[in-house]
Amino acid sequence: MPADAPSLPDEIRSFIEASNADFAALALRVFAYQFARNTPYRAYCKTLGHTPDTVRSWRAIPPVPTDAFKLDLPICSFPPEEATRIFLTSGTTTEIRGRHLLRDLDLYARSVRAGWTQAGLPGCGNAWFLAPPPGTTPESSLETMFAILASDDDSERWLIAPDGHFRLDPLREAASRAEPLLLFSTALNLLRLETAIPDGLTLPPGSWVFQTGGYKGLHRAVTPETVYHSINRCLRVPPEQVINEYGMTELCSQAYAVGAGTAHHLPPWMRVRAIDPHTGADSPRQASGYLVFHDLANLQSVSAIRTQDFGRVIDDGAFFLDGRDPGALPRGCSRGSDAFAPARS
Amino acid sequence: MTTDERLTLIAAASGLFAPYTGPFDRRDLEELLTAELGDIHALHPAECEESKQPRHRVARAPQRILHVVSGNTPHAAFQSLLRGLLVGAPNHVKLPRCGLPELESALPLLPPALRETIAVSNELPEDWNSAPGVVIVFGNDETIDWFARHTPPPIRFIAHGHRLSIGLVMGDPDHAARLAARDVSLYDQQGCLSTHAVYVHPDAGCSLDAFAALLATEMEQFNADSPRGPLSDSEAGAITNLRETIRFHGASHPEETALWESAGGTDWTVIRERDPLLKPSILNRVVYVKPWPTGDTLPALGPALRHLACLAIHPFPGADGLAAYVSTGPSRICALGDTQFPPLTWHQDGIPPIASLVSWTDIG
């Protein structure tokens, strides 16, 4: 490589900002980068017989199961002692939680911001967060993402107090003005909001709601339709103004679907494939399988992640989410936010 | 119906129960009643009088037994129903939502006098917790907890929650591997007696890896003779996901864990771990091979030990050599290879199978 050639991290930053690279070629270089630096990943790939010399396609890059992040192994492409952030998967105190080590938040923050903008999602100038304020749970990747998307440091925008109570007066005041707003939340907190304010709260026309996470932890049957219905009833925001985020602790990038029953779309620096849970082989297009993501923003850890979420892939950049494998252990941002279940509004 | 008549009818129908209870005849039933109640006529006052012997107590069958059964295997349902029939109680079987085809197809073949004592439904009867009797529940912790909270004190509540079994190899590893493969593979680990882990004693005459390899060979052979049932996407995914996680771990720490697996599918999986901590299998012929702890057994095996149903040992030391293992808390200790075939008299979860159902009236 010429001395003045950009480094791989620089190339990925550039790709994220300007979508000016060939994903397939860059993905193979990221694999070689991680194979060289990520000791547990290299050992795993060698066990499988896959090395940078044998892998010819991004589809053949070995994915790491999310459960591997629960092992006492540093799945990172830098000396683990240099980690400045450790994102933890949700879980109770008795459960082993997955650990995603990051040396810094640079690529993560760039991916969050560019992913949001390039997806054509609404501006965050009048954003409100049904979440505790930044710093409450620094191990939460969702809290970090919210903080990155927040347009200012106004503490009033965080609608759950550190002790878990809803503090909705600022939202009521914002809703009384005509300016459309954007409300970020987990699905569970939206359902709890409906309970907390039975009469609802009409958001200004043109407002948006961002929701993410599953519904486990509730002692009632909840479907995606239930949540969209709840949002419409409680906040008067129709499904076509609702953004669903697919993200996870082990991924630095996110996928978004706008409206009910629509596909999730990935940013250009991320690809998806589905694998047959019986064999691990790629599933045919539109056939349900475990989703495997290849996220170049995961440069500091491992780019290929095998989930236990079922989905149907439309193309390399879009998929329909069928849901969490019912046999898998519960996880998800919503569940993590259980600790902040408000006791009163 | 007298006890004599009932035993005759049940014995005549033993063929319907045998695949799930083991074979039995009238004599076996008499021995069970005698072992549990002291006398086969204890339940029927008229018979007591006919026996012309002084009576100090009479057993009463419950007014109704509600059996809430799970869908993983039909064994528990047949065993529980057999006990209910033996004591002569009206039985109501609450089936899982997915049904229980083996039981549903067997019931019409029962002698009418027995059949008419059995009601079946997919939903709980409305008066399930208002009529006195016995409620027997097979299910997961959530199910057990729900019934425990909703069953008022006058109703006797018997819970059979999540259970697992383990094997212990003390020697003769080749033969032990064959027996263990059978215990693990039968019924695809869906039952409470299914073996989830096989422990290898330090004096077994073989290393953990060597035994895991032997067990893998026997698992393959058993599967060739008796293929595992089909799996859902979720069940198969659980296996492939676990395999990759173990492979990831073992690649960095081969001394901690290693994997043996069926080629080209998820038919069977053997996972060797250095840590003796007992972990539930994800089922469908996935088994752990672990070292039997040399020090204090109970802490080393960990909290999952509270779910232990059966400890199966090879070679079986006989009753005199078992005292050291009783403290692990199983409701049964048996020879490896026999795990899945408890006798009728088995105290499932440590509970007397017949005596737990009846009430006594003392006389005099």
What average pLDDT is seen over chain B? 93
- Predicted-complex ipTM score: 0.92
Q: Tell me, yes or no, if B352 comes closer than 8 A to chain A by beta carbon.
A: no
Residue B183 has pLDDT above 60, yes or no: yes
- Chain B residues with CB under 8 Å of A46 CB are 251
Residue A3 has pLDDT above 70, yes or no: no
pLDDT band, residue A337 (cuts 50/70/90): very low
Over residues B90-138, the pLDDT tens digits come to 999 999 988 999 999 999 999 999 999 999 999 999 988 888 899 999 9
Q: Tell me, yes or no, if A118 comes closer than 8 A to chain B by beta carbon.
A: no
Tell how strand A264-265 and strand A318-324 pair up. antiparallel
**Residue of chain A nearest B142, judged by CA positions:** A219
What pLDDT score was predicted for residue A341?
Answer: 31
What pLDDT score was predicted for residue A5?
Answer: 64
Residue of B242, B240, B259 lying closest to B250 (CA atoms): B259
**Residue of chain A nearest B282, judged by CA positions:** A327
| Residue B118 and residue B93 in contact, taking contact as beta carbons nearer than 8 Å | yes
Q: Tell me, yes or no, if B98 comes closer than 8 A to chain A by beta carbon.
A: no
What pLDDT score was predicted for residue B47?
Answer: 61
Q: How far is B164 from B144, CA to CA, in rounded Å?
A: 16
User: Smallest CA–CA separation between B302 and chain A, in Å?
Assistant: 14
Residue B64 has pLDDT above 90, yes or no: yes
User: Smallest CA–CA separation between A206 and chain B, in Å?
Assistant: 40
**Single-letter residue type at B95:** L
* CB nearest B237 (choices: A43, A48, A325): A325
What pLDDT score was predicted for residue B72?
Answer: 80
Choose the mutation target among A34, A42, A67 for the interface with B, i.e. most B CBs under 10 Å.
A67
Q: Do B233 and A328 touch (CB under 8 A)?
A: no
Q: How far is B205 from B172, CA to CA, in rounded Å?
A: 7
**Residue of chain B nearest A68, judged by CA positions:** B245
What pLDDT score was predicted for residue B51?
Answer: 56
Tell how strand A99-102 and strand A85-88 pair up. antiparallel
**Residue of chain B nearest A43, judged by CA positions:** B251
Over residues A167-223, the pLDDT tens digits come to 999 999 999 999 999 999 999 999 999 999 999 999 999 999 999 987 665 656 678
**Residue of chain B nearest A326, judged by CA positions:** B234
User: Smallest CA–CA separation between A99 and chain B, in Å?
Assistant: 14
Q: Say which range, A255-259, B6-10, B327-331, has the weakest mean pLDDT.
A: B327-331
Q: Do A290 and B237 touch (CB under 8 A)?
A: yes
Q: Tell me, yes or no, if B237 comes closer than 8 A to chain A by beta carbon.
A: yes
| Residue A305 and residue A251 in contact, taking contact as beta carbons nearer than 8 Å | yes
Q: How far is A192 from A215, CA to CA, in rounded Å?
A: 11
Residue B191 has pLDDT above 90, yes or no: no
**Residue of chain A nearest B303, judged by CA positions:** A94
**Residue of chain A nearest B247, judged by CA positions:** A44
Q: Determine if the peptide bond prior to A198 is cis (ω within 30°).
A: no
Q: Do A64 and B248 touch (CB under 8 A)?
A: yes
- Chain B residues with CB under 8 Å of A94 CB are none
* CB nearest A65 (choices: B241, B250, B266): B241
Q: Tell me, yes or no, if B60 comes closer than 8 A to chain A by beta carbon.
A: no
What is the percentage of chain A residues whose pLDDT exceeds 90?
A: 81
Q: Tell me, yes or no, if B140 comes closer than 8 A to chain A by beta carbon.
A: no
User: Smallest CA–CA separation between A51 and chain B, in Å?
Assistant: 14
Residue of B5, B82, B90 lying closest to B47 (CA atoms): B5
- Chain B residues with CB under 8 Å of A282 CB are none
Q: Do B248 and A65 touch (CB under 8 A)?
A: yes
Q: pTM for this one?
A: 0.91
Ramachandran angles phi, psi of B104, nearest 5°? -65, -35
Over residues A18-53, the pLDDT tens digits come to 988 899 999 999 999 999 999 999 999 999 999 999
**Residue of chain B nearest A307, judged by CA positions:** B241
Q: Do B251 and A43 touch (CB under 8 A)?
A: yes
Q: Tell me, yes or no, if A80 comes closer than 8 A to chain B by beta carbon.
A: no
CB-based burial of residue A246 (10 Å sphere; 0-12 exposed, 13-18 middle, 19+ buried)? buried
What pLDDT score was predicted for residue B49?
Answer: 56
Q: Could you tell me how many CB contacts below 8 A there are between chain A and chain B? A: 75
Q: Do A68 and B250 touch (CB under 8 A)?
A: no
What pLDDT score was predicted for residue B48?
Answer: 53
Mean pLDDT of B203-226: 98
What pLDDT score was predicted for residue A220?
Answer: 65
What pLDDT score was predicted for residue A216?
Answer: 60
What is the percentage of chain A residues whose pLDDT exceeds 70?
A: 90
| Residue B102 and residue B79 in contact, taking contact as beta carbons nearer than 8 Å | no
What pLDDT score was predicted for residue B241?
Answer: 96
Q: Tell me, yes or no, if B300 comes closer than 8 A to chain A by beta carbon.
A: no
* Per-residue H/E/C for chain B: CCHHHHHHHHHHCHHHHHHHHCCCCHHHHHHHHHHHHCCCCCCCHHHHHHCCCCCCEEEECCCCEEEECCCCCCHHHHHHHHHHHHHCCCEEEECCCCCCHHHHHHHHHCCHHHHCCEEEECCCCCCCCCCCCEEEEECCHHHHHHHHHHCCCCCEEEEECCCEEEEEECCCHHHHHHHHHHHHHHHHHCCCCCEEEEEECCCCCCCHHHHHHHHHHHHHHHHHHCCCCCCCHHHHHHHHHHHHHHHHHHHHCCCCEEEEECCCCCCCEEEEECCCCCCCCCCCCEEEEEECCCCCHHHHHCHHHHHEEEEEEECCCCHHHCHHHHCCCCCEEEECCCCCCCCCCCCHHHCCCCCCCCEEEECC
Q: Tell me, yes or no, if A46 comes closer than 8 A to chain B by beta carbon.
A: yes
Q: How far is B322 from B306, CA to CA, in rounded Å?
A: 19
Q: Tell me, yes or no, if A218 comes closer than 8 A to chain B by beta carbon.
A: no
- Chain B residues with CB under 8 Å of A48 CB are 247
More confident residue, A224 or B63: B63
What is the percentage of chain B residues whose pLDDT exceeds 70?
A: 97
**Bridge partners of residue A179, in order along the sequence:** none
Q: Do B244 and A328 touch (CB under 8 A)?
A: no
Mean pLDDT of B194-200: 97
pLDDT band, residue A145 (cuts 50/70/90): very high
User: Smallest CA–CA separation between A310 and chain B, in Å?
Assistant: 9
- Chain A residues with CB under 8 Å of B234 CB are 277, 325-328
What pLDDT score was predicted for residue A340?
Answer: 33
Mean pLDDT of A252-263: 96
User: Smallest CA–CA separation between B69 and chain A, in Å?
Assistant: 20
* CB nearest A278 (choices: B236, B247, B252): B236
Mean pLDDT of B258-284: 96
**Residue of chain A nearest B242, judged by CA positions:** A67
**Single-letter residue type at A169:** D
Q: Tell me, yes or no, if A287 comes closer than 8 A to chain B by beta carbon.
A: no
User: Smallest CA–CA separation between B250 and chain A, in Å?
Assistant: 8
Residues sharing a CB contact under 8 Å with residue A163, sequence separation 6 or more, in sequence order: none
Residues sharing a CB contact under 8 Å with residue B337, sequence separation 6 or more, in sequence order: B178, B179, B180, B182, B183, B312, B314
Mean pLDDT of B228-242: 95
Q: Do A71 and B248 touch (CB under 8 A)?
A: yes
Over residues A286-333, the pLDDT tens digits come to 899 999 999 999 999 999 999 999 999 999 999 999 987 776 654 433
User: Smallest CA–CA separation between B291 and chain A, in Å?
Assistant: 21
User: Quick count: other Cβ atoms within 10 Å of Cβ A88?
Assistant: 17
Q: Do A67 and B237 touch (CB under 8 A)?
A: no
Q: How far is B226 from B229, CA to CA, in rounded Å?
A: 9
CA dihedral B16, B20, B21, B25 (to 10 degrees): 30
What pLDDT score was predicted for residue B205?
Answer: 96
Q: Do B245 and A65 touch (CB under 8 A)?
A: yes
Q: Tell me, yes or no, if A308 comes closer than 8 A to chain B by beta carbon.
A: yes
Choose the mutation target among A71, A282, A302, A310 for the interface with B, i.e. most B CBs under 10 Å.
A71
Residue of B280, B64, B322, B266 lying closest to B192 (CA atoms): B280
